[in-house]
């Protein structure tokens, strides 16, 4: 395996490789591919171009955790037609964020400017490497007309979830261990019909790509990466598991005065004593569900940091967001036990903090891999998309979490008593301690994999060596 130094020497000045990153316009996708952009930009003589709209570029930069390589990235801001950006519906029976569909559809207008950018870079670089989100294949499809361009598809979900999706779509071409399929959630209720049609169009554009990239690693998902590499699933395409993309270490304490208020509060708490509560950027709860969650958290008598915000709109910088109401007197009663955050929260730093001992989460892959990296067990409450099956990976296979509500009961209210029992089990029981210990051991293995000669580092070097080859 080539070392990072050897790769840099091979890629001499004047023989540059241009890498074009094209993310899907949703926070979890923007974030993962901006993190990957920073990793690639840390290698010498590789120009990294991150392509989206002005609003989504600003969103990605505003929310990403600090990287030294961010200043090396070339951001390209292309226009799309104005679209109606409706507010999320907290009472919808299907929790998939259908209100973002106009934003998703508008991304099709990036095709022409991306084609022009690729043509320009093709004339100036020895090779142009496109890394596109699996939901942006139609935007980059014109790369096939360029003699020195190649594309790689980035999948934003776990290897476990992706394998099952492809395996089922291909009518289960070979048997797998029966235990994996036991109580496996169906895809019913995971997506809106409009988004399912959107996915089909985008997935049809992947046939010309040269390989696949995953934000996971063999420490976490080796068996499922092996299954994904099978010819009947992978069609002889190369694949690289080069996650986690996110940093795996942060200072444990001693934050300066500019740090977020919740980090300063966490500095004063006991190790593993605080539950972090956050449901990502695409979840909107009904007023009734918010009330039950608040009562459950209060009655659990556990400390918590609760990120209480509505789902993102198509433009996250619009100000007309819903004010989420809590039970009367709640904030006053819990002020010694908990802290509420109603804006953007530094999730990675919260998860890495010594005081954080659990995560009540929707189980989106971004949140899962960040939590695994930091050694924090998860109380999984899936809402849509890949989340129900990520829950199986977390709770049943890795055994570093518990289920708040089974997917078959997704349309039922989660009562305060259910929340209370899950929080107590995760934070104040022997079973919760065992999950926490397993999570910390897995985190230690991941951190080792990132170091020199670690499996993640070697996989990353392998990918860079491949795209900079002569």
What are the catalytic residues? 29, 133
Tokens for 30? 């923007």
- In 242-300 the beta strands, taken as DSSP E runs, fall at 274-278
Cis upstream peptide for 244 (omega within 30°): yes
How far apart CA 44 and CA 222 sit, in angstroms, is 30
Neighbours of 425 (CB within 10 A): 17
Phi, psi of 135 (to 5 degrees): -95, 15
Strand order in the sheet with 356-361: 338-341, 303-307, 274-278, 356-361, 378-380, 401-403
CA dihedral 457, 455, 125, 10 (to 10 degrees): 80
List of long-range contacts for 431-435, beta carbons under 8 Å, 24+ apart: 431/402, 432/358, 432/377, 432/402, 435/377, 435/399, 435/400, 435/401, 435/402
Ramachandran quadrant class, 145 (left: phi over 0; alpha: psi -120 to 50; beta: rest)? alpha
Query: If you ran DSSP here, which 8-state letter would residue 297 be given?
Result: H
Could you give the angle at the alpha carbon of 16 between the alpha carbons of 35 and 114, nearest 5°? Answer: 60
How far apart CA 162 and CA 373 sit, in angstroms, is 20
**Is the Cβ–Cβ distance between 302 and 275 less than 8 Å?**
yes
**Over the range 399-419, which residues count as b (16 or more CB within 10 Å of their CB) and which as e?**
ebbbbbbebeebeeebebebb
How far apart CA 117 and CA 445 sit, in angstroms, is 40
Neighbours of 250 (CB within 10 A): 17
How far apart CA 158 and CA 177 sit, in angstroms, is 18
Neighbours of 5 (CB within 10 A): 10
Of the candidates 158, 132, 140, the one whose C-alpha atom is nearest the C-alpha of residue 214 is 158
Tokens for 49? 């171009």
């Amino acid at each position: 395996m080539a070392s990072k130094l050897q790769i840099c020497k091979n890629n001499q000045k004047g023989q540059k490789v241009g890498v074009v990153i094209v993310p899907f316009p949703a926070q979890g996708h923007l974030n993962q591919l901006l993190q990957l952009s920073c990793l690639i930009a840390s290698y010498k003589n590789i120009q990294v171009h991150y392509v989206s709209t002005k609003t989504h570029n600003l969103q990605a930069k505003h929310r990403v955790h600090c990287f030294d390589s961010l200043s090396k990235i070339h951001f390209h801001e292309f226009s799309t037609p104005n679209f109606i950006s409706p507010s999320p519906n907290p009472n919808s029976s299907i929790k998939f964020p259908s209100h973002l569909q106009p934003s998703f559809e508008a991304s099709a207008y990036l095709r022409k400017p991306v084609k022009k950018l690729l043509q320009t870079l093709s004339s100036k670089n020895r090779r142009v490497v496109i890394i596109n989100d699996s939901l942006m294949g139609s935007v980059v499809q014109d790369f096939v007309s360029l003699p020195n361009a190649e594309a790689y598809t980035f999948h934003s979900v776990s290897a476990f979830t992706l394998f099952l999706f492809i395996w089922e779509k291909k009518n289960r071409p070979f048997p797998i261990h029966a235990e994996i399929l036991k109580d496996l959630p169906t895809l019913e209720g995971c997506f809106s019909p409009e988004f399912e049609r959107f996915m089909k169009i985008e997935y049809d554009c992947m046939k010309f790509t040269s390989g696949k990239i995953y934000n996971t690693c063999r420490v976490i998902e080796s068996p499922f990466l092996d299954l994904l590499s099978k010819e009947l699933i992978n069609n002889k395409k190369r694949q690289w598991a080069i996650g986690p993309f996110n940093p795996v270490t942060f200072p444990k304490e001693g934050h300066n005065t500019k740090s977020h208020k919740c980090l300063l509060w966490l500095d004063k708490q006991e190790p593993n004593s605080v539950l972090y509560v956050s449901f990502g950027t695409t979840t909107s709860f009904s007023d009734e569900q918010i009330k039950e969650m608040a009562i459950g958290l209060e009655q659990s008598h556990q400390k918590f940091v609760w990120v209480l915000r509505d789902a993102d709109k198509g433009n996250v910088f619009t100000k007309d967001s819903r004010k989420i109401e809590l039970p009367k007197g709640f904030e006053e009663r819990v002020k010694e036990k908990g802290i509420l955050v109603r804006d953007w929260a530094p999730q990675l730093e919260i998860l890495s903090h010594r005081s954080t001992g659990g995560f009540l989460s929707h189980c989106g892959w971004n949140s899962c891999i960040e939590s695994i990296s930091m050694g924090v067990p998860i109380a999984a409450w899936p809402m849509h998309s890949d989340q129900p099956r990520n829950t199986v990976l977390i709770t049943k296979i890795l055994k570093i979490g518990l289920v708040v509500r089974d997917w078959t009961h997704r349309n039922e209210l989660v009562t305060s008593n259910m929340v209370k029992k899950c929080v107590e089990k995760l934070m104040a029981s022997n079973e919760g301690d065992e999950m926490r210990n397993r999570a910390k051991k897995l985190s230690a293995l991941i951190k080792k994999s990132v170091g020199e000669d670690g499996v993640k580092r070697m996989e990353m070097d392998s990918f860079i060596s491949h795209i900079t080859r002569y």
